[in-house]
Amino acid sequence: MIKKIVLYFLWIISIWYIAIATVNARAAIPPRLLLYDLFTGFRDNRIYLVRIFLPVTVLVILLATLFVLLLESNLVVYWNVRIRGLSFHVGDIRFFRNHKKLLMLLSFGATAVFMAIPSYRQLCRNTLDTWTGSLTIAHAGGIIDGHDYTNSLEAILTNYSKGQRVFEIDFARTIDNQLVCTHDWDPALLEDGTSDEEISSQKFMSTLIRGEYTPLSLEELGRLMEQYPDIWVVTDTKNSTVESVQQDFEVLLETMKAHGMESVLDRMIVQIYNEEMYHTVYRIYPFKSWIYTLYKFWGGDTETFLQCVRFCYGHDINGITTWNFYVTPELLQITRAYDIPWYVHTENDVKNANELIRQGITGIYTDSITPDLLNP
């Protein structure tokens, strides 16, 4: 008798979990986030607890319990449906009673699948994730000869020789729809001082950066990443509208595929600027590494930061990025609770950088600081 009661109890819990997971899926709430909220008592999601979780829980458990009681009774229950004089029995309890074991197996199996999805996605994402331990991300390829924002071949190689392995690279689309490595079309960056708002890829690639540094196209950057298999690139595409994001990453994917460099995509860390951008890019290609930068919209309030961290946790995003002056103990506690790495930009003072890391910041975007100068 006790064994049967335990089995029915587990079955009711299974039905309840399937119902909650289905409601969450309809509401686009990731399974991983549901599990986190369950284990923390919905500490950070009280509105969901009151408006959705508790009502659905009460309703499902009541209906599931009534269903189990009917299965154990001798009652014959069904709905009699009449259509144009024809009578049908729908939902006859005797059918479910005769197939009780099969229903239990299906229910337990579905529950196992729902619970396994978060772990499977995280395993697929993190297979090659060896960049998140990095203390530094070289901003725009890092500084060279006192010049920042060059995104040049020489900047990357110089800073690579100093120990940098993760490089944030700026991308812009040329008038012939190619991605090249530049922050913008600033005349100061180009040898001939051109003031064009946009230029062709051919003109860009034939013009030295600041008159002495080699410009990079996306293709050339991919070749460099093939040559140096421990280089990781954070993509800074600037655009955040759906149309522009889609165009940028379609060009990126097509370029890599056209030159047989799909493997390089596993070492690209997509920097997103809003939640919609994540979904847009993910539909184009399921990159394994992501980082969420908040500089375009976040002004330091706790609630928005919490929701961004929860989004990262629910979608297996590897880290979050903000301005360095927003770091507080309260916000650090949030990132620790969700185990989300926090990077800040742009920090070029070694003393400040070490203090930030001492407080709990994971790493920094920097023009000039190399990993050997930091004390984790």
Q: Which residues pair with 235 in a beta bridge?
A: 169, 270
Which of 64-78, 220-234, 267-281 has the lowest average pLDDT? 64-78
What predicted TM-score, i.e. pTM, was given to this entire model? 0.85
116 with 220, same domain? no
Classify residue 125 as left (phi > 0), alpha (psi -120 to 50) or beta. alpha
Contacts 24+ apart (CB under 8 A), 8-15: 8/68, 10/108, 11/64, 11/68, 11/104, 11/107, 11/108, 12/61, 12/64, 12/65, 12/68, 14/107, 14/108, 14/110, 14/111, 15/60, 15/64, 15/107
pLDDT at position 127: 47
Domain count of the fold of the chain: 2
Residue 240 and residue 113 share a domain: no
| Same domain assignment for residues 119 and 148 | no
As given in the structure block, the two tokens for residue 20 are 């909650």
Assess whether 111 and 165 both reside in one domain.
Answer: no
SS3 readout for 289-353: EEEEECCCCCCCCHHHHHHHHHHHHHCCCCCEEEEHHHCCHHHHHHHHHHCCCEEEECCCCHHHH
**Average pLDDT in the chain:** 89
Q: Are strands 363-366 and 342-345 parallel, antiparallel or unpaired?
A: parallel
- Tell me which H or E stretch contains 56: helix 54-72
pLDDT for 336: 96
Pick from 165-169, 180-184, 233-237, 273-277: least confident = 180-184
Residue 120 has pLDDT above 70, yes or no: no
DSSP 138: E
Task: Determine which helix (DSSP H) or strand (DSSP E) holds 234, and give its type and residue range.
Answer: strand 232-236
Q: Give the pairing type, strands 232-236 and 320-323.
A: unpaired
Return the percent helix, strand and coil in the chain, to nearest 5. Answer: 50, 15, 35
CB neighbours of residue 262 within 10 Å: 12
Q: Which 8-state DSSP code applies to residue 215?
A: -
Which residues form the domain of 152?
129-373
Statement to judge: residues 275 and 260 lie in one domain: yes
Kindly indicate the confidence band of residue 294, based on its pLDDT and cuts at 50, 70 and 90: very high
Are 58 and 173 contained in the same domain? Answer: no
Would the pLDDT of 75 be above 80?
Answer: no
Average pLDDT over residues 153-180: 96
Say whether both 320 and 243 belong to one domain: yes
Specify whether 85 is located in the same domain as 95: yes
314 has pLDDT over 70: yes
If asked whether residues 91 and 156 sit together in one domain, one would say no
Q: Do residue 329 and residue 229 come from a single domain?
A: yes
- pLDDT attached to residue 94: 75
Predicted confidence at residue 194, as pLDDT, reads: 53
Question: Are 164 and 122 found together in one domain?
Answer: no
Q: If we measure between CA atoms, which residue out of 305, 361, 299 comes closest to residue 336?
A: 361
Average pLDDT over residues 90-118: 80
Is the pLDDT at 361 greater than 90? The verdict is: yes
What CATH number is given to the structural domain containing 288?
3.20.20.190
Q: Is the pLDDT of residue 272 over 60?
A: yes
Of 104, 127, 150, which one is at a domain's C-terminal end?
A: 127
Of the two residues 158 and 130, the one the predictor is more confident about is 158
Q: Which of 102, 127, 152 is the last residue of a domain?
A: 127
180-206 confidence digits (pLDDT tens): 999 888 765 665 555 556 789 999 999
Mean pLDDT of 97-125: 77
Judgement on whether residues 360 and 230 belong to the same structural domain of the protein: yes
| pLDDT, tens digit (0-9, with 9 covering 90-100), for 222-236 | 999 999 999 999 999
Residue that terminates a domain, selected from 76, 108, 127: 127
